[in-house]
Amino acid sequence: MKSGSNLEKVLEAGHFAFTGELGPPRGANVEEVREKAEFLKGKVDAVNITDNQTAMVRMSSWAASIILVQEGLEPNFQMVCRDRNRLAMQADILGAAAHGIRNMLCLSGDHQKFGDHPQAKGVFDIDSMQLIAMVKKMRDEGQFLSGAELNEAPKLFIGAAANPFADPFEWRVHRLAKKIQAGVDFIQTQCIYNMDKFREWVKQANDMGLTEKVYILAGVTPMKSVGMAKYMKSKVPGMDVPDEVIQRLQGAEKGKVAEEGIKMACEQIEEFKEMKGVAGVHLMAIEWEHKVPEIAERAGVLPRPKV
Amino acid sequence: MIVAKRKPFEEIKDMIKDYKKVLNVGCGTCVAVCLAGGEKEVAVLNSELEMARKLDNNPIELGAKTIERQCDREYLEALDDMVKDYDAIISMACGVGIQFLAERYPEKPVFPGVDTTGMSVNQAVGWYEERCRSCGQCVLGVTGGICPVTMCAKGLYNGPCGGTNNGNCEISDEQPCAWFMIYERLEKQGRLDNILEFKPPVEWNDQVPRTLIQSGYKKPEEAA
Ligand code: SF4
Ligand code: SF4
């Protein structure tokens, strides 16, 4: 065991993992975190806690992660490279581990231009690939990036993102290979809507033997409305929403669009369960935490394994 | 070359509001080529200032002098006899030139007339694009001659990120993704193996003021 996290144990035991997501509040509201967490209890193996998602300032990821630990849920602490230099990153990694956080997701982060402080200085001292390698070095070699000894290594299960849909498509599987080379343990993908492209990417990863070296969790976000689908298609960089998805939502009866979205998500999850090279699903039900129990139930991923 | 743009008029006017005799010094090299701080721009700024101060009932006497390069002692010397007649100096050179001028006349207040924006190429008259941030450890040899430090909005060394959008950067449809271009160029040259390897964190060496002495040279005794 690298970290002893629940997520690691579930995956190691060969179960199909199911993880959720929680966005910290735009303020110091602890109750909001607890309320959202309540919906996820017993329904997921770990919960991603976003880090100033879309470059909007929120309660820090590690702080909200600690609230989750107190609630008996397992957080997946996200860290972006945009907001911290290597000193702050290593300090927060140690602090997170000290508070019982056992999973970490290493991301570049959306550009600050998208957020509520567009003129902020983007740090990007190291990139997400280098962050993965730094956490691995801290964990496995017990050393800071500088090479100095650590007084107790942080035990963390190291995650990263992969976007099979951003171009150049041919490069994406090589980028996955690079993340494995850097030391990643698990991958969460961008929200998947273009299933053909995703199948192709996973096949490439299988052919290159990559899926034997890393656990891939397929990203699923149920569509709530036609508007959301159109917005994601045209406004979210690196998102691939085929027209069929929009048409299917448009074809749903009045008042039943969200239902259709959930149905589509469940169908996807069914396929992922059978797909060689996919080890689980990461469900990003953004501001829809209360729907997670229903989706988990209908997707047939309950009860969650006790490991 | 180094590219700059003229500061907003009100800002310049405000900086020199307490001075009656001001020398405006242009630079005949980079900032002249990029139409920001050469002889012509010095003359334009001076006439704007003169007019505005007259309207304010606070007339100003302005001098104008454009030298070949403000980042070079040899050319600065030409100002030595002039500056004593003025209360303050505006420099329309890049940030480097402005400082060298201020250093030579430490008793005189020196004010910047331009905002220095970077090292850029000249795409067409009046159109400049930044290409280098002088990181001090050039990686162009492995990135197909495209700078990830400058051209990638996140300065990634192991790009592209997940935001690449039809060949553009996630920040704008008008900004090509540096890593997409790097990929395309290396692919055409059959050199993709250049970027298959993980690139470890950079040891930033631009965090303190840098001094460069070319090999075979040394600081002269009196300056050391
Ligand atoms: S890598 Fe980029 S910033 Fe660094 S020296 Fe080369 S061109 Fe300039
Ligand atoms: S989209 Fe391309 S240029 Fe923009 S931040 Fe990502 S890798 Fe860099």
Interface residue of A82, A108, A121 to substitute, partner B, most B CBs within 10 Å: A108
Of B156, B171, B184, the CB nearest to A113: B171
Question: What's the farthest any 2 CA atoms get from each other in chain A?
Answer: 62
Domain parsing of chain B, residue ranges: 2-119, 133-204
Which residues are near ligand 2 (CB < 6 Å)?
Answer: B 152-154, 156, 159-161, 163-164, 169-170, 177-179
Global pTM reads 0.95
User: CB–CB of A127 and B157 under 8 A?
Assistant: yes
CA dihedral B182, B186, B191, B195 (to 10 degrees): 20
Would you call the peptide bond into A24 cis, given omega within 30 degrees of 0 as the criterion? no
Rounded CA-CA distance A169/A233 in Å is 17
For residue A208, give every residue at least 6 positions away whose Cβ sits within 8 Å of its Cβ, in sequence order, or none: A173, A177
φ/ψ region of B107 (left if φ > 0, alpha if ψ in -120 to 50, else beta) reads alpha
Confidence category of residue B223, pLDDT binned at 50, 70, 90: low
Asked if pLDDT for residue B188 goes beyond 70, the answer is: yes
Cβ–Cβ contact B165 with A under 8 A: yes
For residue A265, give every residue at least 6 positions away whose Cβ sits within 8 Å of its Cβ, in sequence order, or none: A220, A221, A222, A223, A283, A295, A299
Helix then strand count (H, E) for chain B reads 8, 7
Average pLDDT over residues B124-134: 96
Picking from B156, B153, B183, the residue whose alpha carbon sits closest to that of residue B167 is B183
Asked if pLDDT for residue B191 goes beyond 60, the answer is: yes
| Tokens (6 digits) for A162 | 């992969």
Of A130, A145, A238, the CB nearest to B163: A238
Which residue has tokens 């590219």? B3
Number of neighbouring beta carbons within 10 Å of residue B139: 15
The pLDDT, as a whole number, for residue A229 is 97
Interface residue of B151, B154, B194, B195 to substitute, partner A, most A CBs within 10 Å: B154
| Tokens (6 digits) for A41 | 């209890």
Give residue A255's identity as a one-letter amino acid code: G
The pLDDT, as a whole number, for residue B27 is 98
User: CB–CB of B162 and A161 under 8 A?
Assistant: yes
Rounded CA-CA distance B15/B201 in Å is 42
DSSP state of A143: B
- Chain B residue nearest residue A137, CA to CA: B200
Asked if pLDDT for residue B224 goes beyond 90, the answer is: no
Which ligand is the nearest neighbour of the Cα of B173?
2
Rounded CA-CA distance B206/A306 in Å is 51
The pLDDT, as a whole number, for residue A287 is 85
Interface residue of B161, B177, B183 to substitute, partner A, most A CBs within 10 Å: B161
Low-confidence residues of chain A: pLDDT under 70: none
| Tokens (6 digits) for A297 | 């139930």
Kindly list the structural domains of chain A, giving each domain's residue range(s) and its CATH number in brackets, ordered by start: 6-298 (3.20.20.220)
Picking from A265, A273, A267, A271, the residue whose alpha carbon sits closest to that of residue A292 is A265
| Tokens (6 digits) for A292 | 């997670």
Rounded CA-CA distance B211/A254 in Å is 70
A187: three-class secondary structure by DSSP: strand
The DSSP annotation for B94-142 comes to: -HHHHHHHHHHSTTS-EEESEEEEEEEEEEETTEEEEEE---SS--TTT
| ipTM entry | 0.94
Dihedrals phi, psi of A94, to nearest 5 degrees:
-65, -45
Which residue has tokens 């006790």? A306
Rounded CA-CA distance A58/A27 in Å is 6
The pLDDT, as a whole number, for residue B220 is 85
Cβ–Cβ contact B200 with A under 8 A: yes
Residue ID of nearest Cα to ligand 2 atom 8:
B152
Which residue has tokens 């940030």? B95
Query: Is the Cβ–Cβ distance between A53 and A46 less than 8 Å?
Result: no
Q: Hey, which of B173, B177, B195, B199 would you mutate to test ligand 2's pocket, going by the most ligand atoms within 8 Å of its Cβ?
A: B177
* Residue range A291-303, pLDDT digits in tens: 999 999 999 999 9
Rounded CA-CA distance B42/B122 in Å is 21
Q: Hey, which of B147, B182, B195, B212 would you mutate to test ligand 1's pocket, going by the most ligand atoms within 8 Å of its Cβ?
A: B147
| CATH tag for B2-119 (out of 3.40.50.720, 3.30.70.360, 3.40.50.2300, 3.30.300.30) | 3.40.50.2300
CB-ligand 1 contact for B147 (6 Å cutoff): yes
**What kind and span of H or E run contains A47?**
strand A47-49
Strand segments, DSSP code E, in chain B are 2-6, 21-27, 61-67, 88-91, 110-112, 114-124, 127-132
Confidence category of residue B221, pLDDT binned at 50, 70, 90: confident
